[in-house]
Amino acid sequence: MAASNRRVLIAGGGPVGLLCAWLLGRRRLPVLVCDDNSELQADPRAATTHPATLDLLEEDGLADDMARVGLVAPIFQFWDRPSGKLVAEFDHAVLKNDTRHPFVVQCEQFKTAKLLLERLHALANVEVLFSHEVIGVTQDADSVSIEVRGSDGLKRHTGTYLIGADGGRSVVRKQSDIAFDGFTWPERFIVFTTPYDFEQKRGYCPRSYFADPGSWCNCFKVSADGPPGLWRTVFPTDPSQPDADLTRDSAVQALMQKFFPSPEPYEVVHRNLYVTHQRVAATFRKGRVLLAGDAAHVNNPIGGMGLNGGIQDAANLCEKLAKVLLEGASEQLLDLYSLQRRTVAIEFVQEQSIANKKRLEASDPEVRRRNLDELRQMAADRERSRAFLLRTAMIASQRRAAALVPPI
Ligand SMILES: Cc1cc2nc3c(=O)[nH]c(=O)nc-3n(C[C@H](O)[C@H](O)[C@H](O)COP(=O)(O)OP(=O)(O)OC[C@H]3O[C@@H](n4cnc5c(N)ncnc54)[C@H](O)[C@@H]3O)c2cc1C
């Protein structure tokens, strides 16, 4: 196949789109990425990168670079907010025979995207167009085209496949008539970022989860612009309260003080509100259109699985797409991509992220006691702890995906 006929189009230059571009570009395939933003977004969303994902990002030292600009965090903790007691602590060291990275790396997603964009600049066969919004998608038996609105007007680009990595509101998914079933949580999730050092002042480790009847908090550290770093606290909101009330100083301080009483008010440098969904696309492939990342699946951020799933999609998809385009492998491989990644999005990421939320917010005293006891017992038993971590570290889902074979 001539190189010009092998061009892959990518809608969305978030971390998943840029990773796809890099994985395909490294294999010398021509790639065009269109992103509607004018530049990379300094987005305070994902940070936690799990062991299974780090194992996929070793090419060209990417995982090492992420650790260099982020933080290595081998341990996470569960706390009980009302009693203030530590419930359980899990150490990824028990996974030393399951992964080359028995720890998570806390690397903000804009840093991962920046590391990828720097690598893309070195590839002459990859073009990244910012300020270019994909507004239309058409395909036939031989090619796929996108209509793109940029500063120079409307343009049409044609390629052999299109990867929709354009986030949860994906135009590619909508234009391809792919359903996105699931539900939206009534409460929104609010993130406060503070320089308050929870580790030094309160003894919390850089990934700490707090259970509270009817509520919860994720408290985690990011390296930000360097030591001493910043801490992000994520809470659910009251669905009946308007945005302006939720982000008002008095409300911010009240929530912080409820979870982390302190004689001083907290310095809060960012406050962000998110609508949160649990949805999976009906298929990750429709002809020449392939979905990856949030365009294919969205979930609540407790456990930090959304972008990890997207990175795992990208690695799975690009390996198969390269085989189809460079080695003449059957397109059925792309159906296998959809089967493997969609199955684990449902069986693992949806299930685990919903279970994580329910465990933290349980309000029935008996259910709470059971949940916290179970965490204590798992942490105290090496084999149970390993089984739990294989799921949270997304190793079990990678193994499940690899074991799925096409239906005959
Ligand atoms: C508070 C919070 C914390 C989180 N923490 C974690 C975590 O610790 N670990 C984790 O794994 N996940 C986490 N997530 C989830 C993670 O942020 C997402 O899964 C991740 O951003 C998905 O990456 P993506 O590249 O698929 O989509 P996005 O990051 O949404 O990127 C999509 C890109 O496409 C562009 N785009 C959209 N439409 C168009 C169009 N029509 N044309 C061109 N471009 C377009 C967008 O501007 C954007 O640049 C968190 C989410 C939240 C809200």
Is the confidence at residue 328, as pLDDT, over 70? yes
Sign of the Cα pseudo-torsion (198, 204, 207, 213, in order): negative
Give the residue from 349, 347, 374 showing the smallest Cα distance to 362: 374
What's the average model confidence in pLDDT over 219-243? 95
For β-strands 8-11 and 31-34, DSSP reports them as: parallel
Distance CA 237, CA 190 (A): 7
Q: What is the pLDDT of residue 405?
A: 87
| Partners of 297 in beta bridges | 280
CB-CB contact of 366 with 75 (8 Å): no
pLDDT band at 42 (very low <50, low <70, confident <90, very high): confident
CB-CB contact of 14 with 295 (8 Å): no
**Atom 52 of ligand 1, residue of closest alpha carbon:** 45
Q: What are phi and psi of 105, to 5 degrees?
A: -115, 125
What type of residue sits at position 246?
A: L
**Atom 11 of ligand 1, residue of closest alpha carbon:** 307
Residues with CB under 6 A from ligand 1: 11-17, 34-37, 45-48, 109, 133-134, 165-167, 171, 189, 191, 234, 274, 293-294, 301, 304-308, 310
What type of residue sits at position 354?
A: I
CA–centroid distance, 404 to ligand 1, in Å, is 27
Calculate the average pLDDT of the chain. 96
What's the average model confidence in pLDDT over 220-231? 95
Show Cβ contacts of residue 398 under 8 Å, excluding neighbours closer than 6 positions.
52, 312, 344
The number of the ligand 1 atom at minimal distance from the alpha carbon of 232 is 1
Give the residue from 343, 334, 321 showing the smallest Cα distance to 396: 343
What's the average model confidence in pLDDT over 1-12? 82
CB count in 10 Å sphere of residue 199:
15
Mutation probe of ligand 1 site: the residue of 9, 23, 36, 71 with most atoms within 8 A of C-beta: 36
Show Cβ contacts of residue 377 under 8 Å, excluding neighbours closer than 6 positions.
384
**Atom 49 of ligand 1, residue of closest alpha carbon:** 14
Strand, helix or coil for residue 263: coil
Q: Which phi-psi region, left, alpha or beta, contains residue 317 (left: φ > 0; alpha: ψ -120 to 50)?
A: alpha
Quick one: DSSP state of residue 251? H
CB-CB contact of 116 with 107 (8 Å): no
Distance CA 166, CA 289 (A): 12
Is the confidence at residue 2, as pLDDT, over 80? no
pLDDT tens digits, one per residue of 92-134: 999 999 999 999 999 999 999 999 999 999 999 999 999 999 9
Torsion, Cα 385 391 393 395, to 10 degrees, reads 120
Q: What is the pLDDT of residue 63?
A: 98
pLDDT tens digits, one per residue of 7-36: 999 999 999 999 999 999 999 999 999 999
- What are the structure tokens assigned to 304, written together? 């930090």
Is the confidence at residue 351, as pLDDT, over 60? yes
What's the average model confidence in pLDDT over 65-89? 98
Distance CA 242, CA 176 (A): 34
Q: What is the pLDDT of residue 133?
A: 98
Is the confidence at residue 355, as pLDDT, over 90? yes
Burial class (CB in 10 A: 0-12, 13-18, 19+), 323: middle
What's the average model confidence in pLDDT over 299-317? 98
- What are the structure tokens assigned to 171, written together? 């135009």
Is the confidence at residue 207, as pLDDT, over 80? yes
What's the average model confidence in pLDDT over 289-306? 98
Distance CA 293, CA 19 (A): 11
The number of the ligand 1 atom at minimal distance from the alpha carbon of 172 is 41
Q: What is the pLDDT of residue 43?
A: 77
Determine if the pTM surpasses 0.85.
Answer: yes
Give the per-residue SS3 of 208-267: EEEEECCEEEEEEEECCCCCCCEEEEEEECCCCCCHHHHCCHHHHHHHHHHHCCCCCCCC
Is the confidence at residue 225, as pLDDT, over 60? yes
How many Cα atoms are found within 13 Å in the side-chain-facing hemisphere of 284? Answer: 30
